[in-house]
Amino acid sequence: MMENVSFATAGAHARAPEMPVKMFGRKVEVFYGQKQALHGVDLEIPERQVTALIGPSGCGKSTFLRCLNRMNDTVAIARVVGDIRLDGEDIYDKSIDVVELRARVGMVFQKPNPFPKSIFENVAYGPRIHGLFKNKAHLQEIVETSLKRAGLFEEVKDRLDEPGTGLSGGQQQRLCIARAIAVSPEVILMDEPCSALDPIATATVEELIDELKQNYTIVIVTHSMQQAARVSQRTAMFHLGRIVEVGPTEKMFSNPDDKRTQDYITGRFG
């Protein structure tokens, strides 16, 4: 029944031990002006696993993702209701500093968006604004480690002074991932990180995501069923601002409970 969904590395599906919950949302509702984009979403995000958010365009999956590090704050008309907690702390509480929150919950965007600065300065940006290094050598080390973790170091080690905008699309996206992990976040949010990349660059980034989950909790929004199947351990299916089904990726793709999930992942709608 699931012939047209290809499963990639078995490693991604090696039965993960039950992980503690890193973040969760309860009855999350989001309004853009008069329009309601999310209608009471409940979702738990396990630690050091990849959680994929899937669903047709406009279903609210990106909106939910942007709630997790309060990026919706930058949208003047957006209003968020409900309870979202990181390690049990309400991230919308008045005592939470949004700057600190975003250092803990990093984000990688749909379109690679390197700053018009050198490769080095792009990665050093976060450590600089948060004061995460003791001296120049330490900063150098952070940048190097981050680039290595993002699998980009070998390709750029001789041209760290060149502008980040001069890299190819796939390299730019890995640079943005390196930039995100340079501040040692606990959670990394990825909003369709491969939609602007070619298949080869996509494969590289997917491998990277698979490795990153050893150290980071990852939430990824994707349009590609195959990608969700390949990289995630848990999948949540969004539809019209609600979660219709959530569970282990393997089960979602082989034996979904909900008719809509089944139709969507077999390509009958969406």
Q: Rounded to the nearest 5°, which phi and psi values hold at 90?
A: -75, 115
Coil, strand or helix: which one is 165? helix
Q: Which stretch binds another protein (CB under 8 A): 45-53, 87-95, 101-109, 243-251?
A: 101-109
Q: Which residues contact 22 (CB under 8 A, 6 or more apart)?
A: 45, 46, 47, 48, 86, 87, 186, 187, 217
- Taking residues 43 to 82 in sequence order and writing x for each that binds another protein by CB under 8 A, - otherwise, the string is --------------------------x-x--x-x------
Q: Is 14 in the site for another protein (CB under 8 A)?
A: no
Taking Cα atoms as reference points, which of 75, 77, 74, 78 lies closest to residue 28? Answer: 78
Taking Cα atoms as reference points, which of 53, 48, 74 lies closest to residue 64? Answer: 53
Cβ contact 103:132 at 8 Å: no
- Taking residues 108 to 147 in sequence order and writing x for each that binds another protein by CB under 8 A, - otherwise, the string is -x-x-xxxxx-------xx-xxx-----------------
Q: Which of 45, 53, 68, 107 binds another protein (CB under 8 A)?
A: 107
Q: Is 39 in the site for another protein (CB under 8 A)?
A: no
Q: Is 187 in the site for another protein (CB under 8 A)?
A: no
Q: Tell me which residues touch another protein (CB under 8 A).
A: 69, 71, 74, 76, 99-103, 106-107, 109, 111, 113-117, 125-126, 128-130, 176, 179-180, 183
